[in-house]
Structure 1
Amino acid sequence: MNDLQQLIDSRSRVFESTTLTELTAWRLGGRLQELLDSLESPKLTSLTLGYCLRNEQARAIASSPYLANLKKLELWSEIGGDGAEAIAGSPHLSKLTKLKLSPSNLGSRGAQAIARSPHLANLTILDLEDSGIGNQGARAIARSPQLANLTELNLNLNGIGAMGAEELAASPYLLLPAKLSALRSARFDAIADQVERGSQSRYTGR
């Protein structure tokens, strides 16, 4: 009997426990639905899943009412634009403060879905490393009032060019720590330095 089956078979004992708030699992693939079905109350606050996850699994996560208390969701996956739209459109995930979809196949479409989501307004950490969002995705994030609470933004390995970096630097919504982390992760240290110096100058009145 594998670990997943043991977890499912003992769900009445495991998930009734008030101490189980975090869960990490790898290579569930199509058996993710079994895991979600085994949940009997929305006690999980942290869920990390890795590998063999695609849009179908993202839709299953987004539709589960038993994930309504999640604060942290980390998916190491092959999720694309469809999956990102499902997650971004889920009212069950409105308590998330950390979202990691990395690496993934989100593309600019996925980044745009996240950027316009009213359900992800509580995010303080967003990790989209190696997700192919490009300049269009960076622009969507930079122009998103829904992401105004971010303090950490990882956009490494996303094919972001100077145009996307300029959008991030000029964002009227992103907080300074989010701007700096986004620019530095995307390898635009010089622009990040300029933004930081500009912020310091405004603060000191110089």
Structure 2
Amino acid sequence: MTAVTARLIPVISLYYPAFAARFGSDDEGLKFAAKEYADRLQFHGIDGKMFMAGIRELKAKGAEPFHPNPEQFALMCKQAAIESLNIPQFQAVLSDVIKGKQALRFGEAHAFIHSLNRVICSRKGDLMYELTGIEFEKVIKSEYDHWVKRLQAGEQLPEPQLAISHDKRPEMPAHLRMAPKSAMALRIEALRAEAAARKAQ
């Protein structure tokens, strides 16, 4: 509440005359407005850095006639903080992940527009062929939000892993193949299942 009163209210009053005209002489109304802004900021988990990014964006949009309401300002803080880290917007990420997965499926090279897109594609891209479009978008949005929070916390994206190329050698003769129910074969299948489960997480 202190940050809202000390930082936001003076800026929004100066840059948006309509706000000042409405609340400038109404102490109770101004207190109510400040509380609403503070509540929405808290609801969306806006921290100090995100709040200041939102203040900068508020100033940049000062030529617009209407000031953002509490919900709009909270979302503005989120988006401004993301953009300050040069993270692309979600729709651009989703589009790049889809294009990347389609290219990789056919063995074609794809240059992702951001490293975040590569990470998301490697972790969740395969679900594109298992889910509906709406379900897939929700999964990618959840993954996007997860990594945005980690990047905002100062973490780094994982380095790309080298893919193992397909084995081009001739098929092994039948008499040298491992019996499908042998202890070794069952152990290998279990390891493959564990690896697939980890990849899906």
Shorter-chain TM-score range: under 0.3
Structure 1-normalised TM-score?
0.20
Larger of the two Rg values belongs to structure: 2
Structure 2-normalised TM-score?
0.21
Bigger share in helix: 2
